[in-house]
Structure formats: structure tokens, C-alpha cells
């Protein structure tokens, strides 16, 4: 497994020049202007569930994007689409969208196990593709999609591993890589929510289709649908992929006939010897979702959609800038806020210790990167098919370990195409 090759060009847009210890302060969030006079990218969203709606709503705010068509097989979702985006045409068959030569890009937000056929057909039809993560519900399907994406090298293929495009994450990533946490010793992550994960409809067939996340045949469970985004960040900041995973899964809160666990734990073993503990549950919402990386000099926590704080050991070297940085109290600990755009705010006479009101959501930056690729690419996006295959292979294997309550080695070949 080699270093992650992030497209240099894509990386520099949100990145910064490294300048020693002050680099977090120097990292700027830059948003490029959509080239003047350039026609917007005509987009179609396929699958108008919660994620499809979020995509549509975000596209409305991203320069260079124009949502022209929405597809869903369920009539009430199309009625929602009509109210949300009245100007977009509505379709119940995705092939109509692919046949429409005016559509340049399709965004696939269907249930995970339905990505494959749509993604392959879309690439075949010459469309640029944004596919939600995880890429597929099996490694075999993920490889088929990844291969098609690799072959269509003149088309854009970006996956929904959105933190890869998030300037806040990019800045903290550089910070960690510069050694500011000392030697990484351990990682921990969680995703907690109090909800049943069930969906309903007056139509019995729909109830089955809507509840794909609770169907053990196709669902990757909590580790796949929630955890994989956080684990993707772990692969990125630790710069390695797990070599084994030990999993556990239980039904603790929603004993309603389901077999997909509502509470899971997993321990990921990395080649460097580092272990990452992860748990997710639908029983409790306590403390929401976060990831923590414990190092010998400091600990970093990511939470609240990409915000980050650092907690220093008393004997850690002085970085300098942290004296001026904003501090937030976490019970008895004091966290130093890692703000990606502090220097830029300083230059604009805004208070650099306040959150920047112009910071957009991680999904917005992912959409912006997708649009920019139309104007300046095609290049391999940060959330490329390679990253998608790796994250999907981890999620599929972890889900197997969880459902069988065992330890599974992950063959590095799973991460690669032949």
C-alpha cells in the first residue's frame, strides 16, 4: 500500500504552504471563482431520499452548478423534489436522465447496493459521476465500479467521502502530518444516535425497499453507512490502511425483529501497530459523533462536521501560536481550536478566534470540488475511485467481522485493482 496520491492540483486549492509549526494558522480556505462566462454544469440527482435532498439543496448554493433533473422510483419523493427544486424535471427511470444529452453530471444517492448499475450506465453514457459512499455493498461490486471509473479517465468520478475535500480537514491533516501530536499512539471514534433506522410507507412493497439498511443481504450496517466516513478520515490522517479488524455487534435497543445490529464495536489494527477503536449505536445519542487521535505530545479531536481541537500534554514542545488561539472548555480539559482560516481572517480584520461565518458545510466543498473539476479538469479528485475502493473494502470486511463477531485479516489485495 503506497502513499495516498491526492491530485496535487486539487489538493492545493484548499491546502496551504507548509511553514513549520505555524502551519495551521497559515492554512487558508480559498474558494475559487467560477470562470466568468462559463456555462454552469448541468446536473441530475438520482435517488431523492435524505441524502439526495441534501445534495440538491447544496447544489443550489454552489457556483457553477445547475440542477436540471431529479430521479426517484417513489412518487412521494418526486413530489418533494417538485417543491424543493421546481425548475428540475422529474423522472422515475434513471435511463431517461442518462439519455438526456443536456445532462453533464449525475449524482447517485440511491441505496448503496443499487449504485453499481447506475454508475456503470452513467459512465457508459459519458456522464461525469458523483457517487455516494460507500461505493458499493460488496468488494466485488466496488471493484467493478472502480475499474470502470479508472477506464473512463477522461470523465470525472468522485465519491461521497466528503471530508477529503473539506478545507478544515485538510488543514488538520497537514498539522498532524507535521508531527504536532508527537507519536500517534491510539485512535478512537464514535457515532451515536437515538433512532430506529426504520422507514415507513403506506405501501408494503415500499416498506421493504425503504428499509434496505436493515436488510442483512445488502446492508453494511452502522459501520458501513455511518462509520465509513470517519474511518476514511482515519486512513487519511494516519496514512495507512488497516490490516485486520475485530468486530462485535448486538441488538440492544430495537428488538423489533431486525437482524442488523443496532450497536457495534470494532477494533482496527494498522500495520504501524496503532489500534483504532470505533463504536456506533442507535440506542443513545450521547456525545454524538467524533474521532480522537491520541499522540505522545497532544491529542486531536474532530467533531461537529470537521471542527477540530488540540489538547496538549504539559511537557509538549511549544508551538508558539497556540498562545493566541481560541480555547474551548471540554469539562476539565481545555482544547485549542484548530481553525483552518485563522490567518486569512486576521488579514481581513475579522476576529480570528471566532468561527468564520462564511465557512460552508463539508458537502458544499465536495460539490465545489466536483464542479471545479468540470472547469479545470479532468483530474483525479481527492475522493477518487481508489479512496472509494479502500474505504469500501474496510467497511465490508468490518461489517463481516461485526456480524460474525470475529477477527478478520484484510488482504492488501482487496484495496487494489488488478
Site for another protein in 64-103 (CB under 8 A): 76, 79, 83-86
Q: Where does this chain touch another protein (CB under 8 A) — which range of 155-163, 197-205, 217-225, 339-347?
A: 197-205
Give kind and range of the element (H or E) at residue 416: none
The reply on whether position 198 binds another protein by CB under 8 A is yes
Among the listed residues 9, 61, 183, 208, the single contact to another protein using CB under 8 A: 61
> Least Å distance between CB 278 and another protein?
24
Among the listed residues 46, 359, 371, 391, the single contact to another protein using CB under 8 A: 359
Q: How far apart are CA 173 and CA 167, in angstroms?
A: 10
The reply on whether position 357 binds another protein by CB under 8 A is yes
The reply on whether position 252 binds another protein by CB under 8 A is no
The two beta strands, 263-269 and 244-250, are antiparallel
Spatial contact of 131 and 388, defined as CB atoms under 8 Å apart: yes
Among the listed residues 360, 369, 386, 390, the single contact to another protein using CB under 8 A: 360
CB closer to another protein out of 150 and 326 = 326
Q: Where does this chain touch another protein (CB under 8 A) — which range of 201-209, 228-236, 320-328, 340-348?
A: 201-209
> Least Å distance between CB 187 and another protein?
28
Cα torsion angle, 158, 162, 167, 171, sign: negative
| DSSP summary character for residue 412 | G
The backbone region for 325, taken as left when phi is positive above 0, alpha when psi lies in -120 to 50, beta otherwise, is beta
CB closer to another protein out of 256 and 351 = 256
The reply on whether position 317 binds another protein by CB under 8 A is no
Cell triple for 405: 463477531
> Least Å distance between CB 118 and another protein?
24
Quick one: which of 153, 159, 118 has its CA closest to 382? 159
Cell triple for 383: 475522493
| DSSP summary character for residue 108 | E
Torsion of CA 158, 163, 166, 170, to 10 degrees: -110
Spatial contact of 131 and 145, defined as CB atoms under 8 Å apart: yes
Give kind and range of the element (H or E) at residue 1: none
Spatial contact of 106 and 122, defined as CB atoms under 8 Å apart: yes
Spatial contact of 130 and 369, defined as CB atoms under 8 Å apart: no
Among the listed residues 355, 379, 408, 417, the single contact to another protein using CB under 8 A: 355
CB closer to another protein out of 22 and 60 = 60
The reply on whether position 196 binds another protein by CB under 8 A is yes
Among the listed residues 4, 150, 188, 199, the single contact to another protein using CB under 8 A: 199
Among the listed residues 93, 99, 117, 256, the single contact to another protein using CB under 8 A: 256
- Binding residues (CB under 8 A) for another protein: these are 50, 57, 60-61, 76, 79, 83-86, 195-196, 198-202, 207, 256, 355, 357, 359-361
Amino acid at each position: 500500500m503506497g502513499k495516498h496520491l491526492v491530485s496535487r492540483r486539487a489538493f492545493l486549492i484548499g491546502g496551504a504552504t507548509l511553514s513549520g509549526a505555524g502551519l495551521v494558522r497559515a492554512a487558508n480556505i480559498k474558494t475559487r471563482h467560477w470562470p466568468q462566462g462559463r456555462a454552469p454544469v448541468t446536473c441530475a440527482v438520482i435517488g431523492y431520499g435524505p441524502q439526495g435532498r441534501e445534495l440538491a439543496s447544496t447544489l443550489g448554493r454552489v457556483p457553477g452548478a445547475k440542477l436540471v433533473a431529479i430521479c426517484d422510483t417513489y412518487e412521494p419523493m418526486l413530489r418533494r423534489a417538485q417543491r424543493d427544486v421546481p425548475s428540475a424535471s422529474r423522472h422515475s427511470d434513471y435511463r431517461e436522465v442518462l439519455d438526456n444529452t443536456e445532462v453533464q453530471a449525475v449524482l447517485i444517492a440511491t441505496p448503496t447496493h443499487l449504485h453499481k448499475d447506475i454508475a456503470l450506465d452513467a459512465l457508459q453514457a459519458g456522464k461525469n459521476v458523483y457517487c455516494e459512499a460507500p461505493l458499493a455493498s460488496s468488494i466485488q461490486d466496488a471493484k467493478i465500479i472502480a475499474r470502470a471509473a479508472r477506464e473512463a479517465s477522461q470523465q470525472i468520478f468522485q465519491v461521497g467521502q466528503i471530508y477529503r475535500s473539506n478545507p478544515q480537514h485538510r488543514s488538520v491533516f497537514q498539522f498532524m502530518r507535521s508531527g504536532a501530536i508527537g507519536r500517534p499512539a491510539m485512535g478512537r471514534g464514535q457515532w451515536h444516535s437515538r433512532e430506529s433506522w426504520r422507514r415507513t410507507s403506506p405501501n408494503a412493497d415500499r416498506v421493504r425497499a425503504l428499509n434496505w439498511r436493515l436488510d442483512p443481504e445488502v446492508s453494511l450496517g452502522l459501520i458501513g453507512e455511518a462509520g465509513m466516513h470517519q474511518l476514511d478520515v482515519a486512513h487519511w490522517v494516519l496514512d495507512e490502511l488497516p490490516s485486520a479488524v475485530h468486530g462485535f455487534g448486538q441488538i440492544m435497543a430495537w428488538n423489533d425483529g431486525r437482524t442488523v445490529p443496532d450497536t457495534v464495536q470494532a477494533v482496527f489494527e494498522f500495520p504501524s501497530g496503532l489500534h483504532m477503536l470505533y463504536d456506533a449505536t442507535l440506542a443513545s445519542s450521547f456525545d454524538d459523533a467524533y474521532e480522537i487521535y491520541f499522540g505522545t505530545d497532544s491529542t486531536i479531536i474532530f467533531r461537529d462536521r470537521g471542527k477540530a481541537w488540540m489538547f496538549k500534554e504539559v511537557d509538549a514542545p511549544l508551538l508558539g501560536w497556540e498562545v493566541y488561539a481560541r480555547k474551548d472548555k471540554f469539562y476539565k480539559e481545555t482544547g485549542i481550536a484548530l481553525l483552518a482560516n485563522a490567518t486569512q481572517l486576521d488579514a481581513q480584520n475579522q476576529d480570528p478566534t471566532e468561527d468564520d461565518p462564511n465557512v460552508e458545510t463539508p458537502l458544499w466543498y465536495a460539490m465545489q470540488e466536483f464542479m471545479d473539476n468540470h472547469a479545470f479538469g479532468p483530474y483525479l479528485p481527492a475522493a477518487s475511485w481508489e479512496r472509494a475502493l479502500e474505504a469500501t473494502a474496510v467497511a465490508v470486511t468490518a461489517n463481516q467481522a461485526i456480524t460474525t463477531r470475529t477477527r478478520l485479516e484484510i488482504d492488501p489485495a482487496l484495496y487494489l485493482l488488478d
